Amino acid sequence: MSVTLTEAAARHVKRYIAKRGKGVGVRLGVKTTGCSGLAYKLEYADEVAPEDVIFEGHEVKILIDPKSLPYLDGTELDFVREGLNEGFKFRNPREKDRCGCGESFRV
């Protein structure tokens, strides 16, 4: 099992953690919501929880709770700019369907 992030995502995370002045990486998970059933959760983590599964790429830690890992296995986290918008993008090979608004997904 693995979760990765692109160089662009790592650069953004490192820059933001430096600006915050604290943090060990990003916490990635899923929550039950929306019309398709699941939505991604992403937050900056200040500490590692004992149950966290840790992946690392480009010197950035990705922390995942064990319950979310089956839904996220193989996911690549990217940071993209599209026109005037920028943000994280999830490339999840397990994703089978996404709702029309793009808020939630199904595996």
What confidence tens digit (pLDDT) does each residue in 24-83 have?
999 999 988 766 588 889 999 999 999 999 999 999 999 999 999 999 999 999 999 988
What confidence tens digit (pLDDT) does each residue in 75-104 have?
999 999 988 899 999 998 887 766 655 565
Predicted TM-score of the model (pTM): 0.85
User: Which residues are CB-neighbours of 50 under 8 A, at least 6 positions away?
Assistant: none
Neighbour-count burial of 53, counting CB atoms closer than 10 A to its CB (0-12 exposed, 13-18 middle, 19+ buried): middle
Question: What does the alpha-carbon distance between residue 17 and residue 32 come to, in Å, rounded to a whole number?
Answer: 28
Question: What does the alpha-carbon distance between residue 93 and residue 74 come to, in Å, rounded to a whole number?
Answer: 6
User: Which residues are CB-neighbours of 98 under 8 A, at least 6 positions away?
Assistant: 36, 104, 105, 106
User: Which residues are CB-neighbours of 22 under 8 A, at least 6 positions away?
Assistant: 46
Amino acid at 17: I
